[in-house]
Structure 1
Amino acid sequence: MAGSLSASQSKQIFGLPIALIWGYIAIAFFMTGDGIEQAFLSKYIVDLGFSTQQASLVFSVYGFTVAIASWLSGVLAELVGPRRTMIFGFILWIVFHIGFLTLGLEQENFAMMITMYGIRGIAYPMFIYGFVVWIAYAAPKQKLASAMGWFWCMYSVGMGVFGTYLPSFSIPAIGVMGTLWMAIVFIAIGGFMAMFLIKDNFDSYKKETNAENSKFREVLRAITIAYENPQIAIASVVRIINQISLFGFVVILPIVFIDQIGFTMSEWLRIWGAVYATTIFTNLMWGILGDRIGWVRQVRWFGCIGMAIATLLFYYLPMSIGPNMWVGLFVAIFFGFAIAAFVPMSAIFPTLEPNHKGAAVSMHNLSAGLSNFVGPALATAIVPIAGVEGTIWAFTILYIFGFILTYFMKVNQPMNKFIDENHSMEIAK
């Protein structure tokens, strides 16, 4: 066990806390198992004889429970500890995934599919966002964005790369159900890593930061924190805006790229996969850069403005040039670079509430979950009225609105030498 805060925080490589390295690896394994069905499950449900609307309902219920669990995971991790929260998520995932497969899919029982998959949605936020709280305490304050960048890097490795591409090999070999059963192996590896291999002692951070609060007050604070701290409310809106294009594009761009521009389905999947492949590196890159150039400055210019440009490019450039694979990959890579620039948001929330990091992270997680709803909801609402082009511009305007909001964010970022020098130069001017 790590004996002290200072000892743990002194050991890091490029912002990666060495004491938590097995936790980062566990995230990659866990998200591989959790994301393995993302590309084919809805189609499989339809192939079983259910309607597209029923398949969508399964995912809607799942998304709702993910959002609620994301909100609660941070404060739960602070109350009972991240390791216990992660273990709870790990066990819950396996139990209800087995129920989803045996009582839902195998029996073709729609009610059980919704119930089991919906409850399983509670599990993955408990695992991954419980670990985010651990990072918020263990990482050196001046390297917090870098540490969060490593987290999102491992998330992308699991969810976006292995979770996306593994089924293309496993389904021809062992079928859809075999692939879904295989997911348990990855979840188990990640869960046991969190259970036995992370040697850091979270209790030492709690003692040294004097964050001894009643459980009732801490749970209440997770509900009221946005009202008590207006800076958290502003940051929450920016965090929701963060991924509206990412989740909204899933609804509208497959039709645009395949039916209107002329790409094949496999070409579109490779283009979309390039977004996640890019974020493996850019999450880490922007985490390190954010600690050097300033968190808010990076979110403002490279995140908000970068995503406004990337959103327009993703639509207009392929539409004007046609089904050119290189153009498709270019806009996807540019998009991946821009969206990862929001990585410091994970560091901004706990910095805004340093004495109640669990509650702050809970608000961050809720905002991330709401982004899952806002993007598709806007696309669904605007497309019938203004078409795809109107939806693209709505997303772009929201990123510009986020740019404006960053000027109202007052974040007391722990300074390193690079930021101190730049800050002094700005004052001198």
Structure 2
Amino acid sequence: MTQTDVLSDRPSLTDRIGIPRPLLWGFVGLLLFMIGDGVEAGYLAPYLENHGQSARDVAFLFTVYGVAVSIASWLSGPLSDLWGPKRVMWIGLAIWSVFEVAFLVMGLQVASFPMMVAAYTLRGLGYPLFAYGFLVWIAAATPPRQLGSAAGWFWFAFSGGLPTLGSLFASFSIPVIGELATFWSSLGLVVAGGLVALLLTREPTGATRLAPQHVSVKGIFFGSLSILWREPKTFVAMIVRTIDTASEYAFLVIMPSFFMKVVGFTLSQWLQLLSIVFLSNILFNLVSGMLADRLGHRTVVSIAGCLGAAISVPVFYYVPMAYHGNFLVASLAGIFYGATVAAFVPLSGLVPQICPKEKAAALSALGLGAGASTWVGPAIVTWFEGWHGIEGIIWIFSGLYAFAGILTLYLSVPDHAREAASTPQRKDRRADRNTDGMYGETPVLH
């Protein structure tokens, strides 16, 4: 063996830190795309309220948008099986771009609430197809030994953009170019990120249909639903995943007003606080993924995630209120909250282990939970804000995290799954994916 051969066999830096090298530009593009998607996250609600919409209308807008996100999150799996993840990502990019223009031109600029609801809801189909299509691509093309770290990097890029860097971008751009122009700038970031990911990522797996050719369209779509009752642990994981980020989407509705009217922050301070919260989140996305490889996926989710979030949610409410106007104290409370929500990341590595022959279908269930959180959070605000106001909502979410901790006790890897996972893998992963064993009797994906 020559010295060149030896060097070529050494893992690259990206491989050593857990990023599959052929997918590197996909991660970069995903980050840019999600920055664009997250630009509006921290200030769309107060913008609409300041321009004549009621808090209830805003919560309704976010709820129906979340329903669309939930549907698209599930569809990203079976559509990737059918057409390949790369084509699904192209569709997501196109949908986001077209309906963002419609939302701004026919909704926001003319103050037409019905058009806002229609365009924003349809735009909600876009980012899950792009982002979760890429997650399917990662699951299909990444070696099992690297899957946990790769999932951590996916969520690092995802939440690094939405809303961390997106909100930070808005906090600096709004004083310079104004709120409406900042909305338009998000379109440029999304298009740039989409093109980087799709034009520069050449890994071949994502460009082809993932399901075997003999599997029907009906079989693909039905399989991604039937796994919820064929393997009940995927259903439990879906519920836990829904609870995970439901509070985030609820907080995007209620916390801007709380921090600006009760705690005494300016809009820029709130956006910067939001960026700090989710900077903590993206850093601990990586930490929790690495810890899961050492301590166990379920252990990290149940203790650091569920128990931690049950504590951090009320801390994020009561501590800033007790230290009125103190940005440092609010930031520390927010960092704690962001870290605990990040501790749910190992679910993306745990679920494929529970169903090693149907990884795509299992991840589709998880995607459905992730999408559901985008409407469950605002819906809880809509239904219960009149009960005990924000304080009541805070304790609802704290209780939900405690309930999720109980559910995680059921998420052990069954013996038959361990045996399947220990079976030696073929070197040619693409050939492996074209066997029935990847999909079980009912093939599916995401």
TM range (shorter): 0.7 to 0.9
Question: Does 2:138 match 1:138?
Answer: no
Contact 1:211 1:356 (C-alpha < 8 Å) held by counterparts: no
2:201 corresponds in structure 1 to 198
CA contact (8 A) 1:146 1:290 kept: no
Tell me how far 1:52 sits from its aligned partner. 4.7
User: Equivalents in 1 of 2:76, 2:86: separation in Å?
Assistant: 12
Secondary structure, in 3 states, of the residue corresponding to 1:38?
coil
Q: CA deviation at 1:371?
A: 1.6
1:34-183 to structure 2, matched below 5 A, reads 34-46=37-49, 49-183=52-186
1:185 and 1:131 map into 2 onto residues whose CA distance is: 20
Percent identical residues: 40
Deviation at 1:20, TM superposition (A): 0.5
Aligned residue identity for 2:219: R
Q: Choose 278-287 or 253-262, whichever is displaced more.
A: 253-262
Change (3 A) 1:211 1:410: farther
Task: Classify 1:88/1:274 alpha carbon distance in 2 versus 1 (closer, same or farther; 3 Å).
Answer: same
Q: Which moved more, 1:256-265 or 1:170-179?
A: 256-265
* Distance in structure 2 (CA, Å) of the matches to 1:179 and 1:158: 15
Residues 16-415 of structure 1 aligned to structure 2 (within 5 Å): 16-46=19-49, 49-202=52-205, 213-411=215-413
Change (3 A) 1:52 1:125: same
Q: Report the alpha carbon displacement of residue 304 of structure 1 after superposing the two structures with TM.
A: 0.9
Does the 8 Å CA contact 1:138/1:205 hold for their aligned counterparts?
no
- Kept in 1, the 8 Å contact 2:20–2:150? The answer is yes
Separation (CA, whole Å) in 1 of partners of 2:207 and 2:33: 26
CA distance in 1, matches of 2:221, 2:193: 28
Q: Is the 8 A contact 2:59 2:382 kept in 1?
A: no
Residue-by-residue CA offset, 1:180-232 (whole Å, 9 max, x unaligned) = 3322322222222232211111169978x979632211101122221111111
What is the DSSP-based 3-state SS (H/G/I as helix, E as strand, rest coil) of the residue aligned with 1:273? helix
Q: Separation in 2 of the partners of 1:390 and 1:105? A: 31
CA distance in 2, matches of 1:374, 1:282: 24
1:56-97 Cα shifts (integer Å, max 9, x gaps): 443333222111111111111122111000011112222222
- Cα distance in 2 between the residues matched to 1:298 and 1:94: 37
How many angstroms apart in 1 are the aligned matches of 2:112 and 2:157? 35
CA drift of 1:251 comes to 4.0
Unpaired runs of 5+ residues, structure 2, are 1-8, 423-446
Q: TM-score, normalised by structure 2?
A: 0.82
Q: Assess if the C-alpha contact under 8 Å between 2:64 and 2:375 holds in 1.
A: no
Gaps of 5+ in 1: 1-6, 416-429
- Provide the C-alpha distance between the structure 2 equivalents of 1:43 and 1:262, rounded to a whole number of angstroms: 15
Q: Is the 8 A contact 2:241 2:370 kept in 1?
A: yes
Residues 84 and 208 in structure 2, CA contact (< 8 A), matched pair in contact too: no
Aligned length: 408
Letter in 1 for 2:164: V
Partners of 2:152 and 2:124 lie apart in 1 by 24
CA displacement 1:311-355 (0-9 Å, x = unmatched): 232233334444433221111111111111111112223333333
